[in-house]
């Protein structure tokens, strides 16, 4: 028996009692006909929250991003400029190209989640008959691969100005937008002021079991509703999923600050171990994501670390790596690269879970640090 602390992602959360109650008691109708009152209420709430004219409920943020590309880039062969580490580019199976017929062209992401706007401007195409026509720029906030970074607001504003200059659409993958808003203290409406469309995910951070929203102008959402139907996202009595999303918006936002605080505690502890095989950029950690790096000179890999964290040895259960019931502890994380691990705090991680995870991580990291010397 072992107590599992799952820090792979904030998508692993289970719906709480309020969400389950809302699901059972939700008023429903056929959303494809626009007749689900709970969905309509959620879409109205999201539009107001983000300062947009309208919003659309979809099953996932991946579909929401795809639909945004399909609407903004409605001529096949259009080009989208996107960061080299963006979720749209790295983790959505190239759907923008495969389904929407667009070319995803990358601009190298900086560690803070931004990219060079001078380079982006040089990369805008369409004046030459041989070139694809650049139609859209996509940005991400918070930035997942860059460690949950809150992207600087002045940079977002500058991207908006660049898009207006060249009549390009600006889309924000704001799957964890509310984390960015809570951490920065900037209202979500202000963050996305210059964005023509924005995706918001309810199952990341906010703790709902499923669902995302896409917000924009009335005309954009009208076209997005057609695209959603095309890719199979037109659900029927989807109020049962919209209901927990409403609960997440109403009750889940205050908990995000606690998630950030717990992630900071984990990062500080790992940093304070002063181990040669494990480093954390404490100053650069913003929200609920902790990235742990292993030096290139080490023979140790992230897979080995995660496999060890998933094991319970007899020796560790004789110390602090156990629960009050003498259960061992397993910590789950995710591997980004052979030398990079991610741990994500969320609403299902309690203070006790965090303490147990810290004890386990401390034990395993020290054990592996002694086992794997750094090559000189």
pLDDT tens readout for residues 139-187: 999 999 999 999 999 999 999 999 999 999 999 999 999 999 999 999 9
- pLDDT, tens digit, 9 for 90 and up, residues 353-376: 999 999 999 999 999 999 998 876
| Structure-block tokens of residue 368 | 């592996």
Residue 126: pLDDT band by 50, 70, 90 thresholds?
A: confident
pTM above 0.75, yes or no: yes
pLDDT average, residue stretch 242-251: 95
From CA 27, how far away is CA 16, in angstroms rounded? 19
Closest CA to 114 of 153, 168, 88: 153
The confidence score (pLDDT) of residue 314 equals: 81
Instruction: Please state the separation of Cα 62 from the chain's center in Å.
Output: 11
The answer to whether residues 341 and 291 touch, using CB atoms and an 8 Å cutoff, is: yes
Instruction: Count the neighbouring beta carbons within 10 Å of the beta carbon of residue 250.
Output: 11
From CA 85, how far away is CA 119, in angstroms rounded? 16
pLDDT average, residue stretch 235-263: 94
Residue 199: pLDDT band by 50, 70, 90 thresholds?
A: very high
From CA 42, how far away is CA 249, in angstroms rounded? 9
Residue 152 gets which letter from DSSP?
-
Based on the number of CB atoms within 10 Å of its own CB, is 108 exposed (0-12), middle (13-18) or buried (19 or more)? exposed
From CA 64, how far away is CA 199, in angstroms rounded? 6
- pLDDT, tens digit, 9 for 90 and up, residues 77-93: 999 999 999 999 999 99
The confidence score (pLDDT) of residue 261 equals: 97
At residue 252, does pLDDT exceed 90? no
The confidence score (pLDDT) of residue 323 equals: 65
pLDDT average, residue stretch 205-221: 96
Q: Collapse the DSSP code of 286 into the 3-class scheme (helix H, G, I; strand E, B; otherwise coil) and give the result.
A: coil
| Structure-block tokens of residue 161 | 């100005």
Name the residue ranges covered by the structural domains of the chain: 17-251, 254-371
At residue 223, does pLDDT exceed 90? yes
State the virtual CA torsion across 167, 173, 176, 179 in degrees, nearest 10.
Answer: -20
The confidence score (pLDDT) of residue 239 equals: 96
The confidence score (pLDDT) of residue 327 equals: 81
At residue 317, does pLDDT exceed 90? no
The confidence score (pLDDT) of residue 127 equals: 86
The confidence score (pLDDT) of residue 373 equals: 86
Does CATH number 3.90.1150.10 belong to domain 254-371? Answer: yes
Helix ranges restricted to H, 252-350: 253-272, 302-309, 314-317
| Structure-block tokens of residue 277 | 């095989």
CATH number among 3.30.360.10, 3.40.50.1000, 3.40.640.10, 2.60.40.420, domain 17-251:
3.40.640.10
Helix ranges restricted to H, 77-213: 87-90, 95-98, 117-123, 153-165, 177-184, 188-191
């Amino acid at each position: 028996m072992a107590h599992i602390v799952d820090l792979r992602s904030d998508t692993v959360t289970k719906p709480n009692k309020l969400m389950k109650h809302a699901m059972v008691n939700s008023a429903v109708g056929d959303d494809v006909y626009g007749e689900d009152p709970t969905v309509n209420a959620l879409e109205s709430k999201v539009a107001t929250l983000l300062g947009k004219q309208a919003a659309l409920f979809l099953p996932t943020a991946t579909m929401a991003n795809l639909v945004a590309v399909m609407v903004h880039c409605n001529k096949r062969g259009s080009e989208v400029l996107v960061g080299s580490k963006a979720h749209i580019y790295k983790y959505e199976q190239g759907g923008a190209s495969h389904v929407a017929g667009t070319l995803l062209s990358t601009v190298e992401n900086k560690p803070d989640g931004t990219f060079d706007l001078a380079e982006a401007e040089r990369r805008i195409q369409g004046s030459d008959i041989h070139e694809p026509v650049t139609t859209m720029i996509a940005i991400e906030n918070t930035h997942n691969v860059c460690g949950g970074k809150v992207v600087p607001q002045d940079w977002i504003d500058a991207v908006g100005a660049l898009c207006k200059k060249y009549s390009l659409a600006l889309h924000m993958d704001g799957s964890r937008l509310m984390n960015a808003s809570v951490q920065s203290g900037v209202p979500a409406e202000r963050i996305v002021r210059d964005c023509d469309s924005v995706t918001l995910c309810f199952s990341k951070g906010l703790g709902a079991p499923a669902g995302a929203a896409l917000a924009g102008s009335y005309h954009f959402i009208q076209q997005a509703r057609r695209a959603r139907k095309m890719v199979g996202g037109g659900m029927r009595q989807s109020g049962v999923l919209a209901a927990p999303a409403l609960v997440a918006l109403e009750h889940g936002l205050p908990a995000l600050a606690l998630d950030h605080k717990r992630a900071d505690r984990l990062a500080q502890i790992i940093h304070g171990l002063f181990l040669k095989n494990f480093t954390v950029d404490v100053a650069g950690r913003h929200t609920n994501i902790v990235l742990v790096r292993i030096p290139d000179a080490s023979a140790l890999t992230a897979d080995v670390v995660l496999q060890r964290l998933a094991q319970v040895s007899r020796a560790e259960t004789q110390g602090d790596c156990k629960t009050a019931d003498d259960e061992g502890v397993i910590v789950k994380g995710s591997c980004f690269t052979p030398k990079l691990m991610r741990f994500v705090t969320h609403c299902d991680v309690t203070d006790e879970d965090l303490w147990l995870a810290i004890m386990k991580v401390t034990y395993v990291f020290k054990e592996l640090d002694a086992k794997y010397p750094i090559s000189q």
